Amino acid sequence: MGEEPLIRWAWIGRNWPQIEGMLVDHVVMALVPALLGLLVALPLGLASARWRVLYQPTVSLMNVVYSLPSLAVFIVLIPLTGLAERTTVIIPLTFYSLAVLIPAVVDGLESVPDHVRQSAVAMGFGPMRRLLQVELPIAVPVVLAGLRVATVSSISLVSVGALIGRGGLGYLFIDGWQRQFPTPIIVGIVLVVVLAVLADGLLVLAQRLLTPWARARRTA
């Protein structure tokens, strides 16, 4: 018998429909927590920036959640959400995203210069209009930097869910390890890396589109 090749391309071709299904599942379970985290982090971050007494307890709680082993949290949730449900993975990853995004929202709002706020008030901007048209646009780079970290982390952590029946591309790692067959492992690693690079690139593009003044300043 010859030595096992590093990659069996024929195996990839035969199993591509299943790999594609795992890829779609992985994308859903990675991106939904990041988006849900952003939706929840915005009001919590706004409240923490306005009432600083809320900031430290909120961040401390999120840091405690972030420190919990993801596999242990998945196992605890199984009786509540079901063994094969996506929510078993999505719920913990949403909390992990919050641990990154709440400080990002607060830091982004704090990056707004005081004289800019004062100028907006002098021009007759009310609190909501000032927030939407002045403060949040200026905070976009910092918030999106946090979203990039949260998204890439979610893409990586989804694979752990394969140990409890929901892990997207993580199945390939388990399959390859159990059979001592490297091809699925390599395919899984490559696809996870590609997903992370694509997601990060799209968020960088979104930042450029949302902050056209930054491009103008660089080209000036």
Domains in the chain: boundaries: 11-219
Q: What is the pLDDT confidence band of residue 1, given thresholds at 50, 70 and 90?
A: very low
Please determine, for residue 218, whether its predicted confidence score (pLDDT) is greater than 60. no
Give the three-state DSSP class for 6.
coil
Separation CA 200–CA 5 (nearest Å): 32
Q: Could you tell me if 96 and 157 are in contact, meaning their C-beta atoms sit under 8 angstroms apart?
A: yes
56-68 per-position pLDDT tens digit: 898 888 888 888 8
Q: Could you tell me if 88 and 82 are in contact, meaning their C-beta atoms sit under 8 angstroms apart?
A: yes
pTM (predicted TM-score): 0.86
Separation CA 98–CA 58 (nearest Å): 10
80-128 per-position pLDDT tens digit: 776 667 888 888 899 999 999 999 999 998 888 888 888 888 888 888 8
Q: Could you tell me if 125 and 132 are in contact, meaning their C-beta atoms sit under 8 angstroms apart?
A: no
For residues 97, 102, 104 and 108, what is the CA-based torsion angle, rounded to 10 degrees? 150
Please determine, for residue 168, whether its predicted confidence score (pLDDT) is greater than 70. yes
Q: Which two tokens stand for residue 177?
A: 């390890």
Please determine, for residue 74, whether its predicted confidence score (pLDDT) is greater than 60. yes
CATH architecture classification, 11-219: Orthogonal Bundle (1.10)
Separation CA 82–CA 113 (nearest Å): 48
Separation CA 127–CA 169 (nearest Å): 45
Q: Could you tell me if 184 and 178 are in contact, meaning their C-beta atoms sit under 8 angstroms apart?
A: no
State the CB neighbour count (10 A cutoff) for residue 54.
15
